[in-house]
Structure 1
Amino acid sequence: MAFFESLKDRAINTFHNVISDNSTNNRKNTAAELSKDQLFCQQYNLSYDEILIGDSSAEIKVISGYSHDAYNNNSSLNDPFPQGRLYLTPHFLIFRDATDRKNFSFTLHLSTIKKVEKVPSSGYGFALNLLTYSKLTITLFLVGIRSDSERFAQNLTICLKKNLPEIGKLQPFIQTCYSEYLLSKNNISTEQIEHMPPGGLGLVFKFPGNAREAKDKTKLKMWFDLFRVDGRNLSLIKRPIFYKLIRVGLPNRLRGEIWELTCGSMYLRLENQGEYLKLLEDHKDKKSFAIEEIEKDLNRSLPEYAAYQSPEGIERLRRVLTAYSWKNPEVGYCQAMNIVVAALLIYASEEQAFWILNVLCDRIVPGYYSKTMYGTLLDQKVFESLVQNTMPMLWEHITKNDIQLSVVSLPWFLSLYLSSMPLVFAFRILDIFFMQGPKTLFQVALAILKQNGEELLQTEDDGTFISIIKDYFHTLDQSAHPNSPDSKFRNITKFQDLLVTAFKEFSIVNDEMINTHRNKHRDSIYQNISSFVKRTEIRNLPKTNNISSDVLDILYDRFYSEVEVSNITQGSGSSFMDYKSFLKFMSEICDWVQSVEVQNDKHFLRRLFDSWDTEKQGFLSFGDLVAGLNKLAESDLMQSIANFFYLYDTKNNGKLDSEAILQISEDLLYITSPWKEGLLLDEITRTNIENEVADEVFKNQIANGDGLTIDLPKHVDVNREKIEQQQIERYLRAASTFIQRAFEYAQPEEPEILIKDLAIDEKITHNAALNPNTPVFLNLPTFRMVILADETYELLFSNTLRESTHLDRPLDSKINPIRNLRDMFDGLLADGRKVATKVRMRMDSKASNTNNGSSNASMKSSKSKVEEDEERDDDFGIISIDEKDKDLLLGTEAQALIDPIKNEGANSKELERFHKAEDQSRSHLHKQDEDGDAAAVADSSTIENLIEFEQ
């Protein structure tokens, strides 16, 4: 328990940390993202791969091969046949009663249907007889237009033919079902099952609780009778007796099978036979972070149960958790998952537990077992809302005394009550949980508070609150009414009373109400968890010397806006960026990335992507991207050149061959395109512009000025074409010079042999490295020398490339990074200080030449003044600027910086939706749940009395 206390504390701290954050991200309603077919599959616990092919109104008649009474077992032959809706998917035939699903329903896997025949004409327009492998004869009386009925029958025939290859899976599967073994052992089934199917650890280490007191044999006998009449496993008919037998508690040997039947994992196990063992075999001896975490928790999984103090129990638990971590690497392994799987393995085989875990994590309680536990945190807010609405007096007391309800309830939801109450009672809750879904957790939690309400109203702190609940859990087997004069009431235990309260008084808490409250709180939980995950992922990144924490924050938002997020439901921040998203990402932050339609595998952007993809999986994690951008933003000239060099050193031998040199020249042309085409200015060009402007101002100053102040004009005419052409020619010349010098200074691949040849053949007078038939290479020092020999490329690696990569560009920025050179002349005077300083230097230089006969001290004073004027950025006294000139001096860049995207009123619709959801939630408190008549049954002297008690 110490382990779970630690987990609980950490989870609660996480919860309150994320709740304190403010994030503006919006998340869609999960249910709204599901298609119509997926919602249908969710309702009937089917795989999302199923699609609805057809449906029809129908009446149903069922006759068992072991009992010839139609629709028998507590029903009269004169009762009308169940009426409802029939649905067909590629692998299932489904029926639901029109008035109450629990009155009559079935989900038949098509592989269990052995024969279909049309019923001769009768009072019904169209009817079909189905014969299942469990000897059930199901007659479908299709109601409606005959052509529609015939179409449905035709679709059924087509699906059955397509399922013929799947029939081979049925025989080995039913050999693993205890229900089939039970009938075969008692000579009811014709299936030959020689050995008991694999089961849970309870078969070896005994099941929790007292089997005699729990009437385990009586329960097993009643399930045996049900299987004879209503079929079993994949062809079971569900009628009221089925649900009643679950509520009174499942027999130990059938518990695992009924769990997988009610939650739908049985269908996955049928379709994916052998996958569990294959996962273990394919990943044998492989290591992962998830496996390391699993090993830490193995010995802390239900240690009170004997099996988990033995190698056999630990090994089974290890295999199931390991297989799931490979099956779903996005989740891997999360704490508390070990407790749930340990509980499943007591009653289920490894393969059964594995598939139940899949359904549990994916469909029943998504997000409960993830790195952020987003599902549990969301349901804590839902639970608090339900307490507030159903028990306002208790809620007022909780808030008044600042009692953190989530501290108490989070372990109930996260461990499905397995770590909170004795196992024998927790398993009874699990029986109902797998049957009716997550609303069970809320109903039981509300009932716990209701049962202890009077005492809880006397508490004033968290500790006392928790202590009362713990004491209550330890007395669940005691009488709920010890002083009652009626022995019938004295025999009702606190646990039985708890179930009656949960499923009678809180039957109004249904799936619709829970989803309403989830929708209300989902956005805020997602936002806060996103913020928490963001801080955690950024904090765990390797050190980035060239990227500040503020810039990392911006990059994180941009990264997750580009990738197809695996959803916060996975909660790990582990989404990946593919190449297409990478191109878009780079185009938004780099001035030199002009096209996002780059498919060439040898393109510079592809080279960057592949180099940053350290795991070589074809995707970039956020850590990969940041590490790459940190190199791109390198401020040290020598290291920047080295980083570029290693992009092309694919053999990791410190050498660039001729092909790599040519590829570098092409990529340099691509990178420098904005400057080579005159779209952007580099530092050399900006300096030339400033010099030309300074020359013009100096001429005007000499002609018209007083020599004391420098007045900057509003406009200066410069030779635009000349300056533009100079930059273009300089970049073209740099590209040409690079190729020439690279091969000029390249070293021959085999210098010893070449030198020997030169000594022998005196006719060879040229450098052998220039021979195209002779392989040459550049090493890093030589490559640096070639780059540094050209001022344009030297500037590219020291300044230009880094300045044109805007890592800090806001995500919502609308700045156009590419502006034509001619447009930029309008802002030539944007930095008036530099221009004024250059003019002052020219004026001082002229004055110095005029006063050549002055003393050395005077010359030093003049020089000192010039240097001081140039270095001081805070001295504006020498420049006279009118208010009217400010706009010109600021230029267009400053205007872009004060043009934020307006976002006022963006949350008004969200707020309106929240208010609407709250009103809807309150109205549902008065709506009777369709399961409202479902009550838990007390464990009395006989099972029959239990059912009578419920009725």
Structure 2
Amino acid sequence: MSLLNNLISKASQLSIFDKQPTEKRLSKDELFCNEYHISQGETIVDECAAELAIENSFNKNLPEAPLESNLSQLRFLSGKVYLSEHFLIFRDTYDRQSGCLKLHLSMVKQLKRLPSRNYLFLLSILTYNDLRITIQFVGIRSHCEQFSYNLKTCLTKNLKTTPELVPFLETLYSEFLLSKNGSSRMDIVTPPPGGLGLIFKFPGDPVKLQNRIKTKAWWNYLKRNGRNLCINFDKSFLRLINVGLPNRLRGEIWELSCGSIYDRYMNSHEYTDLLAKNQGKSSIAIDEIEKDLYRSLPEYNAYQNPEGINRLRRVLTAYSWKNPEIGYCQAMNIVVAAMLIYMSEDQAYWCLDKLCGQIIPGYYSKTMYGVLLDQKVFESLVEKTLPMMHQHFNKHDIQLSIVSLPWFMSLFLNTMPLIYAFRIMDIFFLNGPKTLLQVALAVVKINGEKLLECEDDGECIAVFKDFFHSLDDHIPDIHYKNKTRFQELLVVAFREFSHISDETFVQYRTKNRNEVISGIESYLKKAQLRKLPKTPNLKEEHLSNVYDRYVSVLNNNYVEVGSDSSVMNFKMFAKFMDGLVDWINLEEKENIAQQKSFLIKLFKNWRSDEETGLTLENIAVGMNKLMEHDLMTSISNFFEIYDVNGTGKVDRDGILQISEDLIFLTTPWRDGYLFDEITNKAIESKIAEKIVEKRKFGDSSDEISIPSEMNFDKEKWVHEQSQRYLSLTSNFLHRAFEYALPEEENVDLIELDGNEGSEKKSVIANPALNPSAPVYLNLPTFRMVVLADETSELFFTRTFKHSIHLDQKVEKGSTNVRDLFNNILADGRRVAVEVRRRMNSDHTSRSSEKSQGSNTGAYNEDDDDFTANDNNEDNDYLLNNAEANVLNDSIPVEKGDKAFLQHIDHQIDSTKEEEKVIDF
């Protein structure tokens, strides 16, 4: 049985439609909010199986509450009722597509428990919009009691929103419509404010659009099934949506369908407060908005008038302040302009928020990943449902996404006549983005014959353009009289492509997500790198790795790359440097204060004056300074870190800070975690010496045998290098104060009067040696101090630069050979060169050879010859085998010391005899 369970588990993990492990899975509560289009953040308090009946309580013939004898006359629907903090939702079991009641708890006017002699548990709810809802619970009685108690508790918590209810209902045209026709207890005399259509007329001919008939049909539906914050959705609601909405009700039905009406009710003052709070402020988003205002639906008169332009400006500006990560994106102006024709500013603001945050997330963002993902889904559906068209497009390299991208971005508002685009939006707000896919597929199918004759993108665009301009044309049909092309489009879209469900849509999105995100990341990376200033010390692969690390840090802190806030704070910068350089390890708590101190200086030095953090440009320029090849420039860059005021001087405290930071920066070499070039060359020289000795004691082979592995006396090599780096910091401090310049001019440095106490007086007279006298280092003096020490010069020439790993991903945490002794014996060829030099110099005298090996060589960056100091036989940095076969017989490495076993990466090429054979 366990084997079967394991197989089922593995099979489920291999499903191609499963989400990626890195993708956040939606919780049950988030899925609940998305399914019923309610406010995000709602959590399910309780749920129970139940039967539900709905009546219009405004009918005076009905009693105040249903009697037990009348229960049999009610039409009960079987389903499940859900309770959240602010909503009571019922879903029909047999009609999940349309059978749904959504009730905001603030609409509950009365709650009663009905008596019953049949052991039934019944509740009666009376709402402000004249609905009487009877709930008959099905299940264990204790659960029913608990649900009733939870409902009472949630109603109590919602009492605080009740004062806002009536003013909110007065902003809705549905309440005015029913009140005017005597179908509501509310008394509303004046109609609520609406969209620009009330001033500049609504698009289309109201007579041809049958606006009056549609309004009457909706009046009948709303008085029976409720409205706005409490409404029952059934099949009639879908049919009324499909035939088109009346002008005055369209805005309210849009916000009701998408759920933004609930956000507007719960945050009734947010829109006006945002405008008042940010009045007079400027931003990049506002500048972009101003550029596009007069390009928003230019065919509609309102947007050639200050009234329409000002409304559009206010809505877009308010949303840019609400969501600065998005700010403003192209095509938002077109969608908002369309909504403002039928909606007030407040309604349009919350509808836009719902669109960008929940219905089509990613459509209006800097990367537009949402719309690009749906383009891939569209192409995949064309391949599956219209294979002949897909093959034709591939044959002629026609990019369908280039043609269809504006359809999705503008919700067809820029391609169809407005009266037809609004019909698509009616269905879109109810069914979501799958509507756009169904319509787009229908457009391709209807124009299939003409598209098969097209051989490039331009011809395809012309075909689609002619089709959208001919939607008014009538076509012959035996079933429908006066059928138009637009009606044909609706039939094909929502009948022939009705199999494209929400589940199918999600599956295709999941399947194509990785490819789209990868393409976006690649494009963003190229675009960002192209904007960077010249960095001659960094290769392309270095910049690529810097970008990848930069993006990784931002992503881990939930910052969108390319957004206005995509800058690194100090904490992010520390994570960026951790693992990139050998002298930063945030896991080591011992020297965390020293690490933080130096990183703060580096952070401030790289940061621009106008920025609060580090941008990608700051990081690239800063890393370019650290990787400087020129020695003098490298020293100057290091000096600038401590010259915080830009005066060209570093005072006494700065000198002391430099010495402390040098101690910290040289820790990897001082503690023996890394070997520098001097130590490496000394080791190579010692190996070469052993090879020469072996050859003189019996090995007459012409081939130089380089050992594949060696054992090191760790303590001796580390001790010598540690002493050099300790001397580096002490010598620096001594020479810095010795050559430091006094702040005062014309001061005698040393008094030579020969009197007793003259030494003490000389020290006092020398400002550099007097702790109370201010001194400083300038750049020339700093360079002189650095170049006075061999190890210090090497540190600024190559050692420090080699501790920065821009060419590879550095993984911290493991202490193996590569981490601790990088570059030890990295090149066997250099050892062979050293052997040849030694043997060619004097192969007849062993003593002179030893003398040559014991001299301390001077380091030269252009010279590969360096011999280590070896004054006696006991100071041997290689462990000798008792049988003197040190080169071929490796001594076993003790546990814990395997880090000192170094493999030679580059063996001598056996085909190049001139590089490995010595001619005697």
The alignment's TM-score, normalised by the length of structure 2, stands at 0.79
Q: Distance in 1 between matches of 2:54 and 2:319?
A: 39
Paired residue for 1:805?
Answer: 804
- Give the letter for the 2:264 counterpart: R
8 Å contact 1:738–1:787 — kept in the other structure? yes
Q: Residue 303 of structure 1 is aligned with which of 298, 302, 315?
A: 298
Q: Distance in 2 between matches of 1:895 and 1:764?
A: 56
Q: Distance in 1 between matches of 2:458 and 2:330?
A: 24
Deviations 1:671-694 (A, max 9, x none): 111111122122233344455556
Instruction: Label 1:498 to 1:622 Cα distance change in 2 as closer, same or farther (>3 A).
Output: same
Confirm or deny that 1:685 pairs with 2:679: yes
Give the 5 Å matches for 1:602-681.
Answer: 602-609=596-603, 611-612=605-606, 614=608, 620-651=614-645, 653-681=647-675
Paired residue for 1:832?
Answer: 831
Instruction: Give, in angstroms, the shift of residue 43 of structure 1.
Output: 0.7
Q: Distance in 2 between matches of 1:527 and 1:436?
A: 29
Paired residue for 2:4?
Answer: none
- Where 1:490 maps in the other structure, the secondary structure is coil
Structure 1, 109-118 or 343-352: larger mean CA deviation: 109-118
Instruction: Give, in angstroms, the shift of residue 443 of structure 1.
Output: 1.8
Confirm or deny that 1:536 pairs with 2:527: yes
Paired residue for 2:730?
Answer: 736
8 Å contact 2:554–2:572 — kept in the other structure? yes
Instruction: Give, in angstroms, the shift of residue 290 of structure 1.
Output: 3.2
Q: Identity over aligned residues, as a percent?
A: 48
- Give the letter for the 2:665 counterpart: I
8 Å contact 1:679–1:819 — kept in the other structure? no
Instruction: Label 1:31 to 1:134 Cα distance change in 2 as closer, same or farther (>3 A).
Output: farther
Confirm or deny that 1:521 pairs with 2:512: yes
- Give the letter for the 1:677 counterpart: D
Instruction: Label 1:137 to 1:333 Cα distance change in 2 as closer, same or farther (>3 A).
Output: same
Deviations 1:592-649 (A, max 9, x none): 2244356649432344345545489876554443333222212223333333333344
Q: Residue 47 of structure 1 is aligned with which of 15, 20, 39?
A: 39
Confirm or deny that 1:151 pairs with 2:146: yes
- Where 1:47 maps in the other structure, the secondary structure is coil
Instruction: Label 1:838 to 1:424 Cα distance change in 2 as closer, same or farther (>3 A).
Output: same
Confirm or deny that 1:125 pairs with 2:120: yes
- Give the letter for the 1:471 counterpart: D
Instruction: Label 1:210 to 1:670 Cα distance change in 2 as closer, same or farther (>3 A).
Output: same
- Where 1:101 maps in the other structure, the secondary structure is coil
8 Å contact 2:579–2:812 — kept in the other structure? no
Instruction: Give, in angstroms, the shift of residue 129 of structure 1.
Output: 2.6
Instruction: Label 1:679 to 1:222 Cα distance change in 2 as closer, same or farther (>3 A).
Output: same
Q: Distance in 2 between matches of 1:346 and 1:832?
A: 82
- Give the letter for the 1:801 counterpart: F
8 Å contact 1:127–1:141 — kept in the other structure? yes
- Where 1:417 maps in the other structure, the secondary structure is coil
| Structure 1 unaligned blocks of 5 or more | 1-25, 851-866, 873-883, 897-951
Instruction: Label 1:440 to 1:726 Cα distance change in 2 as closer, same or farther (>3 A).
Output: same
Q: Distance in 2 between matches of 1:568 and 1:767?
A: 55
Q: Distance in 2 between matches of 1:424 and 1:64?
A: 34
Instruction: Give, in angstroms, the shift of residue 261 of structure 1.
Output: 1.3
Q: Distance in 2 between matches of 1:237 and 1:615?
A: 58
Paired residue for 1:591?
Answer: 582
8 Å contact 1:102–1:243 — kept in the other structure? no
Instruction: Label 1:413 to 1:824 Cα distance change in 2 as closer, same or farther (>3 A).
Output: closer
Q: Distance in 2 between matches of 1:69 and 1:614?
A: 76
How many residue pairs match? The answer is 828
Deviations 1:325-355 (A, max 9, x none): 3333333332222222221222222232222
- Give the letter for the 1:381 counterpart: K
Deviations 1:389-429 (A, max 9, x none): 33344444444554433343332222211111100000011
Instruction: Give, in angstroms, the shift of residue 701 of structure 1.
Output: 7.9
Confirm or deny that 1:37 pairs with 2:32: no
Paired residue for 1:854?
Answer: none
Instruction: Give, in angstroms, the shift of residue 53 of structure 1.
Output: 1.5
Give the 5 Å matches for 1:218-237.
Answer: 218-237=213-232
Instruction: Label 1:728 to 1:267 Cα distance change in 2 as closer, same or farther (>3 A).
Output: same
Give the 5 Å matches for 1:79-478.
Answer: 80-101=75-96, 103-121=98-116, 123=118, 125-184=120-179, 196-478=191-473
| Structure 2 unaligned blocks of 5 or more | 1-17, 64-70, 752-760, 850-859, 866-886, 892-900, 908-920
- Where 1:180 maps in the other structure, the secondary structure is helix
- Where 1:99 maps in the other structure, the secondary structure is coil
8 Å contact 1:63–1:70 — kept in the other structure? no
Instruction: Give, in angstroms, the shift of residue 186 of structure 1.
Output: 5.4
Q: Distance in 1 between matches of 2:57 and 2:844?
A: 115
Paired residue for 1:914?
Answer: none
Q: Distance in 1 between matches of 2:126 and 2:26?
A: 34
Instruction: Give, in angstroms, the shift of residue 123 of structure 1.
Output: 4.0
- Where 1:588 maps in the other structure, the secondary structure is coil
Confirm or deny that 1:56 pairs with 2:48: yes
Q: Distance in 2 between matches of 1:718 and 1:519?
A: 54
- Where 1:152 maps in the other structure, the secondary structure is helix
Deviations 1:440-499 (A, max 9, x none): 1122222223333444445454444333332222222222328x6xxx833332222321
Instruction: Label 1:659 to 1:64 Cα distance change in 2 as closer, same or farther (>3 A).
Output: farther
Instruction: Give, in angstroms, the shift of residue 58 of structure 1.
Output: 1.6
Give the 5 Å matches for 1:726-765.
Answer: 726-746=720-740, 751=744, 765=764
- Give the letter for the 1:806 counterpart: H
- Where 1:564 maps in the other structure, the secondary structure is helix
Instruction: Give, in angstroms, the shift of residue 801 of structure 1.
Output: 0.9
Instruction: Label 1:146 to 1:618 Cα distance change in 2 as closer, same or farther (>3 A).
Output: farther
Structure 1, 828-837 or 368-377: larger mean CA deviation: 828-837
Q: Distance in 1 between matches of 2:390 and 2:312?
A: 40
Instruction: Label 1:642 to 1:307 Cα distance change in 2 as closer, same or farther (>3 A).
Output: farther
8 Å contact 2:684–2:830 — kept in the other structure? no
8 Å contact 2:360–2:370 — kept in the other structure? yes
Instruction: Give, in angstroms, the shift of residue 578 of structure 1.
Output: 6.2
Q: Distance in 2 between matches of 1:506 and 1:828?
A: 66
Confirm or deny that 1:66 pairs with 2:58: yes
- Give the letter for the 2:49 counterpart: S
Instruction: Label 1:786 to 1:430 Cα distance change in 2 as closer, same or farther (>3 A).
Output: same
8 Å contact 1:447–1:501 — kept in the other structure? yes
Q: Distance in 1 between matches of 2:387 and 2:346?
A: 45
Q: Distance in 1 between matches of 2:282 and 2:685?
A: 63
Paired residue for 1:894?
Answer: 905
Confirm or deny that 1:507 pairs with 2:498: yes
The alignment's TM-score, normalised by the length of structure 1, stands at 0.77
Instruction: Label 1:319 to 1:566 Cα distance change in 2 as closer, same or farther (>3 A).
Output: farther
8 Å contact 2:52–2:76 — kept in the other structure? yes
Deviations 1:538-559 (A, max 9, x none): 2222222211112222333344
Instruction: Label 1:311 to 1:770 Cα distance change in 2 as closer, same or farther (>3 A).
Output: farther
Paired residue for 2:882?
Answer: none
- Where 2:111 maps in the other structure, the secondary structure is strand
Deviations 1:123-180 (A, max 9, x none): 4632223233323332222221111111112222222233333334434433433333
- Give the letter for the 1:544 counterpart: T
